[in-house]
Chains A and B, each alone.
Chain A
Amino acid sequence: MLEPLPLVAATGMLGSGFREESIDRAIALGVRMIGCDAGTTDFGPHLLATGNSQFSRAAVKRDTAVILAGAARAGIPVVIGSAGGAGGDVNLAWMRDVVLEIAREQGLHFRLALIRSEQTKATVRDLLRDGRVVPLPPAAALSDDVIDDSLHIVAMMGAEPIQAALDGADVVLAGRSSDAAIYSALPLKLGYGPAISWHAGKILECGAAAVAQRAAPDSMVAVLHSDSFDVFPLRDDYRCTPQSIASHTLYENADPFRLTEPSGTLVTLESEYAAINDRAVKVTGSTFEPAARYGVKLEGARLAGWSTIVLGAIRDPLIIRQLDGWLERLDYNLRERLRKTVGDAEPYQIGTRVYGRNGVMGDLEPVNSVEGHEVTVLWDVISGRQELSHSVAASLSHMALHNPIPEWHGLISAVAFPFAPSEVDRGPVYEFHLNHVAFPETPTSLFPTVFESV
């Protein structure tokens, strides 16, 4: 019979905040580890592409300082996953700097482990050549060209590299990690079953997101037992209900019943969620199917080009009622003009989003008509150079301004531009271009770990 194992998630994303007293309460309850997820792909590909953090250094430092101070006081380990946002080497080094600065300021001393997750192009090419990479739907098969296009590639680690780091470290900073692995690593190491460990990890990774009504981000506790786990929040005004915990497997998952991790699949089809009291829930019945082959997800970002945007709005009902035709004529006239100026040698693309029609949903919009009395058009010119995108955008805004309709005879001014200049250079823009799984030689082989004394 395993002893109850309480774990706390400081918050759903490092830098988003939590109450200091929530960590104090968790420590008073005897939690054996403080974890925090620090990353996501949700903000877009630029974090992996540039190495920047979504939240400010001050925000991440505040949260990390409370976690490190609490853990030092309680003598328990800390695991921070997807460190620095995207978990690349630059992100990880940034997070290490924050941790070292806090240690200096608080006079803390500990063993630090850094687990790298960034992969070189050569490593990924080797994996591909050895037949160790497969695409995930809807991606196509990987190729050397796609790998060579990458700015950064990370592999998403499972629990094993974190377990290994916990053997020597008090504070583990992991590169890109499965969110749930941050919390499953310790229980799996201590012999708790995979279904309980991964399901508890899945609930914890979003912090207090799984409460019935969340006012602000905060901490969450899970207590693991041999064949169940309990979960509850630390703020008095938060409650977990069977429905709120059951619903959490819906959030940001394509399939709520089968959650794929590197070592297998958590299956929640038979999971049962029961109220322990008005704020805690017990979860039983989850199962885990070990994977036929241990696989880690690859994430990669590449440069998509340089963007210049133009924002314009139209109020004339005569133009609005023939908007598609007006936009087609503008596109035709513009491309005729550009052929004579910037030429055809370098490709460019123009994205046109019409707000008031399908600006929000694009191709998914079922209502493809304008029902209001004005529309906003956002043109996004993307090419391989900022100067080229700007040149195209400058021609575009001028031609849009005077693009005629048959009803009016004479020169019209068809577009209201809210800004002067009307062309806004946005700099480099990126895209996620990998959606693949790699089968490494061992669960830790792609994730080298360095220990240091702080």
Chain B
Amino acid sequence: MKTLAEVAKLVRSKNAGPFWLTLDVMFDDLATYEAVRDQHVITVELISRLYGQSPEQVRLFTHDSALAIKVSLPRPHSSGSPMDTDVFGGQQYAPLLDLPVQIESEDTHDNS
């Protein structure tokens, strides 16, 4: 068992315009990407629970040619508005890092 932080090449978050937030989980080999995709490590229900948003608001994509999984959700406050906490939306990915992934190979990054 590994964590998403250990097996991903990059986990990041960023604004998608001032009203949306987007989370990208990227891999550098097909096997790891497919393992995370096929084990449904990231689901709409999970994101909804972790981020306290209703599932109808959460959009999930798997991008095979980019070896990436993407999640988009509306921002609670628009970028740079009075109650916003993160103008670029750049530090909103941490809740994903400890998600468990079943990986047998030891040939992965160690970002822990």
Contact present for A256 and B88 (CB under 8 Å): no
Closest partner residue, chain B, to A360 (CB atom): B91
Smallest CB separation, B72 vs chain A (Å): 4
Contact present for B20 and A254 (CB under 8 Å): yes
A139 in the interface (beta carbon within 8 A): yes
Contacts of A42 in B (CB 8 A): 15, 79, 87-88
Contacts of A304 in B (CB 8 A): 81-82
CA–CA, A39 and B18, complex, Å: 13
Contact of A431 among B20, B82, B88 (CB under 8 A): B82
Contact present for A305 and B82 (CB under 8 Å): yes
Contacts of A246 in B (CB 8 A): 63, 65-66
Known: A138-B19, A247-B68, A431-B81. A254 touches B26 (CB 8 A): no
| Chain B 74-106 interface mask (CB, 8 Å, partner A; 1/0) | 101111111111111001101100000000000
B1 in the interface (beta carbon within 8 A): no
A271 in the interface (beta carbon within 8 A): yes
Contact of A254 among B22, B51, B84, B87 (CB under 8 A): B22
Specify which of A242, A251, A253, A380 lies most central, judged by the most chain B CB atoms within 10 Å of its CB: A253
A287 in the interface (beta carbon within 8 A): no
B34 in the interface (beta carbon within 8 A): no
| Chain A 252-275 interface mask (CB, 8 Å, partner B; 1/0) | 111111000000000000011100
| Chain B 16-27 interface mask (CB, 8 Å, partner A; 1/0) | 111110101010
B2 in the interface (beta carbon within 8 A): no
Contacts of B76 in A (CB 8 A): 362-364
Contact present for A253 and B16 (CB under 8 Å): yes
How many A-B Cβ pairs are below 8 Å? Answer: 133
Interface stretch, picked from A43-51, A62-70, A439-447, is: A43-51
Contact present for A247 and B26 (CB under 8 Å): yes
| Chain A, range 320-366, C-beta contacts under 8 Å to B | 349, 351, 353, 359-366
Q: Interface size bucket, B side?
A: 35 or more
A150 in the interface (beta carbon within 8 A): no
Contact of B19 among A139, A249, A367, A380 (CB under 8 A): A139
Closest partner residue, chain A, to B23 (CB atom): A250
CA–CA, A254 and B14, complex, Å: 10
Contacts of B65 in A (CB 8 A): 242-243, 246, 271-273
CA–CA, A159 and B33, complex, Å: 36
B6 in the interface (beta carbon within 8 A): no
CA–CA, A137 and B20, complex, Å: 9
Contacts of B26 in A (CB 8 A): 247, 250
Smallest CB separation, B67 vs chain A (Å): 6
CA–CA, A431 and B83, complex, Å: 10
| Chain A 300-324 interface mask (CB, 8 Å, partner B; 1/0) | 0000110100000000000000000
CA–CA, A364 and B86, complex, Å: 11
CA–CA, A273 and B23, complex, Å: 22
Q: Interface size bucket, A side?
A: 35 or more
Contact present for A435 and B92 (CB under 8 Å): no
Contact present for A364 and B52 (CB under 8 Å): yes
Contacts of A243 in B (CB 8 A): 28, 65-67
Known: A255-B72, A362-B85. A41 touches B50 (CB 8 A): no
Smallest CB separation, A232 vs chain B (Å): 18
Contacts of A361 in B (CB 8 A): 85-86, 91-92, 94-95
Contacts of B19 in A (CB 8 A): 136, 138-139, 432, 435
Contact present for A382 and B52 (CB under 8 Å): no
Contact present for A366 and B52 (CB under 8 Å): yes
Known: A380-B82, A432-B80. A250 touches B66 (CB 8 A): yes
Specify which of A252, A351, A435 lies most central, judged by the most chain B CB atoms within 10 Å of its CB: A252
Closest partner residue, chain B, to A361 (CB atom): B92
CA–CA, A139 and B17, complex, Å: 13
A430 in the interface (beta carbon within 8 A): yes
Contact of B82 among A253, A273, A382, A435 (CB under 8 A): A382
Contact present for B82 and A45 (CB under 8 Å): no
Contact present for B80 and A44 (CB under 8 Å): yes
Contact of A364 among B18, B51, B59 (CB under 8 A): B51
A134 in the interface (beta carbon within 8 A): no
Contact present for B85 and A256 (CB under 8 Å): no
Contact present for B82 and A257 (CB under 8 Å): no
Contacts of A380 in B (CB 8 A): 82
A394 in the interface (beta carbon within 8 A): no
| Chain B, range 34-75, C-beta contacts under 8 Å to A | 49-53, 57, 59, 61, 63, 65-68, 70, 72, 74
- Residues in chain B within 8 A of chain A (CB atoms): 14-20, 22, 24, 26, 28, 49-53, 57, 59, 61, 63, 65-68, 70, 72, 74, 76-88, 91-92, 94-95
10 tightest CB-CB pairs across the interface, nearest first? A44-B80, A431-B81, A254-B72, A246-B65, A246-B66, A247-B66, A254-B16, A362-B85, A432-B18, A138-B74
- Residues in chain A within 8 A of chain B (CB atoms): 41-46, 136-139, 242-243, 246-247, 249-257, 271-273, 304-305, 307, 349, 351, 353, 359-367, 380, 382, 429-432, 435
Q: What are 19 contact pairs spanning A and B, CB under 8 A?
A: A41-B17, A44-B79, A45-B81, A136-B19, A246-B63, A246-B66, A247-B68, A250-B66, A250-B70, A251-B14, A254-B17, A304-B81, A305-B82, A360-B91, A361-B86, A361-B92, A364-B51, A364-B53, A366-B95
